[in-house]
Structure 1
Amino acid sequence: MWTVAGALALSACSPAERNWQLSGPTMGTRYHITVVDVPAAVKKGKLQQRVDAELAQVNREMSTYIDDSELMRFNRGPVGQAVPVSAHLADVLARSLDIYRRSGGAFDVTVGPLVNLWGFGPQPEPEKVPDDATIDRLREQIGSDALTVERNPDRVTRSRPVEVDLSAIAKGHGVDRVAALLEAQGIRNYLVEVGGELRTQGRNPKNRPWRIGIESPDPTGQVVQEPIEVSGKAVATSGDYRNYYERNGVRYAHSIDPRTGRPLQHRLASVTVIADNCAEADGLATALNVLGAEAGLELAQAENLAVFMLVKTDAGFEERYSRAFEPYLEKSRQ
């Protein structure tokens, strides 16, 4: 998944004493935080410790790279039996199932075996393109319809031995967790970014609305296609042009359509979603990327989602966006 550039917002920071930048490693990437007009009672070192601890807890709950994370223990757990889970894991799974249903299966947190088959997981790139029989066999083993989430008490049941991978939504959830932590400390002006997924609130260090740049599909990742103001919102982007390989002249991108078991073949290069929370934006960006420009924009219009797309054409990249996204472009162009 490629991401939204936070450079325009992050570079705006002034040296004011109560305006800070925090950063560190997490979830196989890095986080960057800008906080503005921090209350005097909050100490920078302590805040950094709390952020690191919160993101470490997200990893302990949802990582597939930590063998004894809550998610991995769940994946090894019983089938056909309700398993108690944390409220956070139940929240993310419930949201994932909601997006799965709304997208007609385009977003599926059980797609991992197919991602691995095509060489975009822990396994190396295959020497040969997977055959139809292998793909069909794995397709029978996936499907979020096998998951049932219950709340109060929080429990999840697998009707089949599917394995859950939350990599397409966990970073967004982590952003939301950090945003909640900052607000609990009385911080009302911030930008939180994890691996390109971000959330903003209040004003930037120049006392203006937060302004970020949507990346153009450029290999350097340094070209801004559109600057937008997004104070009080979350932003996530999904695309396939950076992570791919070629076999016999055919390009295979890392995004796998769970409905076909094969890499995406449409011309949608990237999709950016603006939402109230980052987990929603993160999951929807992946779902719309899988759906493609036509079906994705149709869903965005039907649900009044703020969505911006870059579609590959013979002449370059074409911008397409939903009605709900238009106000963000109007502000940037005034």
Structure 2
Amino acid sequence: MLKTSIERLKDTELKLYRVSGETMGTRYTATFYASPHIDDREVTARLAAAVGAVDDQMSSWKDNSDLSRLNRASQDCWVPVSGNLAALLMRAQQIGRETHNAFNIGVGDLVNQWGFGPSSGVSSHLSTGNCLGTASRRPVDDLIEVDEHRCRVRKRGPTVLDLCGIAKGFGVDELGRVLSDYGISAWLVGIDGEVCAHGGKPDGSPWSIALEAPDYDQRATMGVIELTDAAIATSGDYRRWTEIDGARISHTMDPRTGTPLANGVASVTVVARTCADADAYATALMVLGEHAGRDYAQQRGLDALLVVRDGEALRTVGVGCFTDVQPARVSLVRSAPDSSQPQ
């Protein structure tokens, strides 16, 4: 179901538009300032179509998606896919190389075995003391070949791909692309906790984004970040989890061990140029853990906030704009990215 609202602003020629709808098992939102003469119904339809296309291409929950067809395909068989999926698989491979396999989309079988995927329920063979399939996952570079020019992919080894750590961020980027295509220069778009901002409000102020606290029981705000011309994403152990043998099991898989992540990191928030990158790097830093994650973020020049569980308490580890900042109110206003630079 789509929702659209329009609010007339005083002393300005712009209107404030708000659009929301369902996608990827959650909701997307778009808030933007634009001319009162814009065809808001057309923009709303384009936004819905953009996220719908991403879901149709990259969902492991839809049998007819490009990703599901690829997962079912035999090895060495070229599978035609959308240009978006081919490009995103290439980016996922690149981030996998950069993070030394901490980000690996080839964990779909583990996601299913632990009850977080399309298959129903946790495998009866699984327990915290006896893990099925506890083996490191080979880098995706070894397992798939992407022909981006011809929009096709083939598997070179047994693998089940899962894009939950990057597809939602890509969907956010697609929402922003639609608004930019209409010449709209001030917008804030998001899918659940993944957000991208461009421009600012008519009064010159940036967009304010709430940082969610890693609370298992309720949604609570930990702080606020002011953002423009950048994206932000959070990965955490508190949104999707299950309980096995009295222990909470996170949906994030560690590709290096073949088991659910259990390193004490409650959440990671990353600010990046694109939301797909922020999404993927947040997942990678979760897997790397407190110390290796902090070191990697410093080496890559990432803005990252790691929240670590110490028993019942939480503590933060900040890098970049989050350095030495307690999660209260953080200001990050960036200039528009140089389109000539690689994304």
Same fold by TM-score, threshold 0.5 exceeded?
A: yes
Which range moved further: 168-177 or 83-92? Answer: 83-92
- Asked whether the equivalents of residues 137 and 258 of structure 2 are also in contact (C-alpha less than 8 Å), the reply is no
Mapping 1:179-258, distance limit 5 Å: 179-204=176-201, 207-219=204-216, 221-258=218-255
Partner of 1:77: 73
Correspondence 1:284 to 2:309:
no
Are the aligned partners of 2:214 and 2:237 in contact in 1 as well (CA < 8 Å)?
no
Distance 2:270 2:157 in 1: 32
Residue 132 of structure 1: how far off its partner (Å)? 5.2
Percent sequence identity over aligned pairs: 36
* Maintained 8 Å contact 2:224/2:328: no
SS of alignment partner, residue 100 of structure 2: coil
- Over aligned residues, Cα RMSD in angstroms? 2.6
How far 1:147 moved relative to its partner?
1.4
1:55 is aligned to 51
Please give the alpha-carbon distance, in whole angstroms, between the structure 2 residues aligned to 1:129 and 1:81. Answer: 32
CA distance in 2, matches of 1:140, 1:295: 18
Superposition TM-score, scaled by structure 1 size: 0.87
Q: Is this contact kept in 1: 2:224–2:330, CA < 8 A? A: yes
State the alpha-carbon separation in 1 of the partners of residues 137 and 282 from structure 2: 24
Instruction: Report if aligned partners of 2:137, 2:256 keep a CA contact under 8 Å in 1.
Output: no
- Alignment correspondent of 1:118: 114
Determine which of 21, 25, 31 is the counterpart of 1:24.
Answer: 21
TM-score, structure 2 normalization: 0.85
Post-superposition CA distance 1:97-122 (Å, at most 9, x none): 11111222122112011111122223
Q: Could you list the per-position Cα deviations for residues 192-212 of structure 1 after superposition, in whole angstroms to 9, with x for gaps in the alignment?
A: 011221100111365410111
Q: Which residue of 2 aligns with 1:332?
A: 330
Q: Unaligned 5+ residue runs, structure 2?
A: 1-5, 333-343
1:264 aligns with 2:261: yes
2:103 counterpart residue number: 107
Q: Where does residue 45 of structure 1 map in the other structure?
A: 41
> Could you say what secondary structure the match of 2:330 adopts?
helix
Task: Report which of the two has the higher share of helix.
Answer: 1
Deviation at 1:313, TM superposition (A): 1.6
Answer whether contact 2:32 2:187 (CA < 8 A) is retained. Answer: yes
SS of structure 1 residue aligned to 2:15: coil
1:5 counterpart residue number: none
AA aligned to 2:86 is: A
| Counterpart amino acid of residue 57 in structure 1 | A
Measure how far apart 1:251 and its partner are: 2.8
SS at match of 1:19: strand
User: Residues 134-192 of structure 1: CA distance to partner in whole angstroms, max 9, x if unpaired?
Assistant: 314xx478651311223323332311131222122111111111111100101000000
Greater length-normalized contact order (CA 8 Å, ≥ 6 residues apart): 1
